[in-house]
Structures are given as C-alpha cells and as structure tokens.
Structure 1
Amino acid sequence: MTRTVDTTAAKPVMSAGELAHLGEGTVAYLRKMSSDDLRGRFPGLDQIAPGLELWALFAANGQPILLADERDRALAGAMENDLTTVARH
C-alpha cells in the first residue's frame, strides 16, 4: 500500500512579533551556568564569587528570572510562578 502526503496544504505562518512573544508568561527554561558567564546576564552580580556553578531560570524571551545553587530550587521557583519549564538545546 502506497501513501501520498499532500505537501501543497497551507502551513500556518507566524510573524516575527508573534514568535518573539511565544510562551511569554507561561514558559521558562533552566540553564546551568558558571558565575563568570552570569555576570553579563544578571545586573548587579558584581559581588558573586567567580567559578561557581549555578542554575539560572530564564523567561521564554531570555529575561533572567532567578538564580539558584541547586536545580531543584530553580524548578521550585518556576512552579511557584506557574511557569512550565522546557529544555534548552
């Protein structure tokens, strides 16, 4: 039995503005980072010790939300804010 796939069907189109706001207020991502890398992302981290490994929670648009020393604490922060966490690749 041979199946054909209709490749001419209209595909939904999303504008750049819509894409930029996708997941806003509902989706966040976790990322393990060193304190050295975080200085550029989180204002006011001048006094953080260099070489620390921390977990950062970011909004879907890349805005930093919180820092934690343990992954579970960062996930708890996401849950407290009703955010769904997704993997970042």
Structure 2
Amino acid sequence: MALKTITPKVSKADLAHLGAGELGYIRKMRADEVSRCFPEAPDIDPNLDLWALFGADGTPILLTDNRSSTFYKAAEDELRTVSLH
C-alpha cells in the first residue's frame, strides 16, 4: 500500500505570522537596498557594510553598520535570530 502525501493548507498570511514576536532574522544589506526597507534612513555611503534586523514577518527593526548590534537588539527584544544569506 502506497503512502498518501498530505500537504497542509497554509495561507501566505499564516506564514507571515509564524514566529511573530519570537523570531527575527539578520541580513547583510547594500546601501542601495536600504530605502526600500528603511525609507526614513539618510543617504548612506555605498562602501559601508550594513546589517539589518527584521521581525519574522519582515518588519524592519534595526539598521546598523555593526553586526553585533543586531544580535544585541534581538536579545533585548527577546527574539531568537536566524541569518539570511
């Protein structure tokens, strides 16, 4: 007897809320990406290495040039972190 594959029905909205308030992700950003996620940010030197912390749903939380600061902020907000490459 063959096993039947069951695919759960999960909406995009459900996925967006997974980990909300519990999980954050950290990713390196280029200066030209900043205005899309952080529209209030000033012009940034394109040679600067930037790091951003986002909530599980993609909400921007922090932009910094210091990677350690993203982990500090996540810990302060009691978020478990993952890095995206």
TM-score range, shorter chain: 0.7 to 0.9
1:38-73 CA-partner distances (Å, limit 9, x unpaired): 111102113433432111001111110001211111
In structure 2, give the amino acid aligned to 1:69. D
Stretches of structure 1 lacking an aligned partner (at least 5 in a row): 1-5
Is 6-15 or 47-56 further displaced after alignment? 6-15
1:57 is matched with which residue: 42, 53, 56?
A: 53
Question: Is 1:75 paired with 2:76?
Answer: no
TM-score by length of 2: 0.80
Q: Which residue of 2 aligns with 1:3?
A: none
1:17-51 CA-partner distances (Å, limit 9, x unpaired): 32121111111100111222111110211343343
Runs of 4+ with >4 A deviation: 9-12
Is 33-42 or 14-23 further displaced after alignment? 14-23
> Whole-Å Cα distance in 2 between the matches of residues 74 and 17 of structure 1?
26
Question: Is 1:43 paired with 2:39?
Answer: yes
Q: Percent of aligned positions with the same letter in both sequences?
A: 44
User: For this pair of structures, how many residues does the alignment match?
Assistant: 85
CA RMSD of aligned residues (A): 2.2
Q: Which residue of 2 aligns with 1:84?
A: 80
> Whole-Å Cα distance in 2 between the matches of residues 9 and 71 of structure 1?
42
